[in-house]
């Protein structure tokens, strides 16, 4: 009996990278992200955060329309499932020095699979986004599709912090198959064939003055800080963050 295998296809949405079992060339990848690094304006301060990506030898501000460029993915002739691709994304407190202040930063990271413009049931946890050290993941707000991270110490005016370190697709995705048997053959099809990988990064910030009240008002979570202003977040929703 003849066995047939259909080539799986994986597209990084908004990019030109196509991942398959064959030899389709990867020319460029992009990550969809929420560009609304929300500006929360107060009478005497401006709170602002910016997303930047490492491209070649320097960081560049991510263009709202183009998204991330994934330079390391683009260097590979074919995107390889299971390979960890370095991808450095950082957040910058870009509030003006004369009016800006330190700020607490929160990032909501969403990931999912799409096919023909609709979300599918393929497990989002197969999309691996490595987050840098120093970020606290709040499990109470997180699901398989969404992870919520907090920077526990204030990000000073003009300062920056790394968030994303790498991206990969778990090898386990290749085990997800369907088979159709006929009198003459068994046809195997990979479930991720034709799927698109969707990743969204949403970053926003809040003032560090009257820290606990400001965090609750902006994000709806009860945090405890070790000082009233500019302190370290030591618990969120009653859970120790240390």
pLDDT of residue 43: 29
pLDDT at 213 over 80: yes
For the stretch 78-125, pLDDT in tens is 778 899 999 999 999 888 776 668 899 999 888 888 777 777 788 999
36 vs 226, which has greater pLDDT?
Answer: 226
CB contact at 8 A, 36 and 219: no
For the stretch 152-202, pLDDT in tens is 999 998 899 999 999 998 999 888 888 788 777 777 777 877 777 777 788
Mean pLDDT lowest among 37-51, 63-77, 99-113, 194-208: 37-51
5 vs 114, which has greater pLDDT?
Answer: 114
Using CA atoms, how far apart are residues 192 and 10, in angstroms rounded to an integer?
7
Looking up tokens 């920077």 gives: 151
Using CA atoms, how far apart are residues 114 and 93, in angstroms rounded to an integer?
33
Q: Which of 31, 65, 47, 79 is nearest to 201 (CA)?
A: 31
211 vs 11, which has greater pLDDT?
Answer: 211
- CA dihedral for 219, 140, 103, 92, sign (positive or negative): negative
Average pLDDT, the chain: 77
């Amino acid at each position: 009996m003849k066995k047939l295998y259909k080539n799986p296809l994986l597209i990084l949405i908004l990019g030109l990278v196509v991942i398959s079992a064959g030899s389709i060339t990867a020319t460029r990848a992009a990550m969809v992200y929420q560009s609304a690094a929300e500006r929360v304006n107060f009478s005497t301060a401006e709170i602002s955060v910016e997303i930047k990506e490492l491209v070649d030898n320097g960081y560049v501000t991510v263009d709202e329309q183009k998204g991330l460029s994934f330079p390391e993915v683009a260097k590979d002739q074919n995107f390889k499932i299971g390979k960890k691709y370095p991808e450095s994304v950082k957040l910058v407190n870009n509030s003006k020095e004369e009016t800006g202040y330190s700020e607490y930063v929160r990032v909501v990271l969403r990931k999912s699979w799409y096919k023909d413009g609709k979300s599918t049931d393929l497990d989002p946890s197969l999309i691996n986004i490595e987050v840098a050290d120093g970020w606290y993941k709040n499990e109470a707000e997180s699901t398989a599709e969404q992870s919520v991270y907090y920077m526990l110490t204030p990000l000073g005016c003009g300062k920056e912090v790394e968030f994303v370190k790498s991206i990969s697709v778990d090898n386990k995705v290749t085990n997800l198959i369907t088979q159709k048997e006929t009198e003459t053959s068994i046809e195997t099809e990979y479930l991720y064939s034709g799927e698109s990988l969707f990743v969204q990064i949403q970053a926003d910030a809040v003032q560090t003055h009257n820290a606990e009240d400001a965090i609750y008002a902006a994000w709806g979570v009860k945090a405890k800080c070790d000082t009233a202003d500019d302190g370290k977040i030591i618990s969120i929703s009653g859970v120790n963050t240390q």
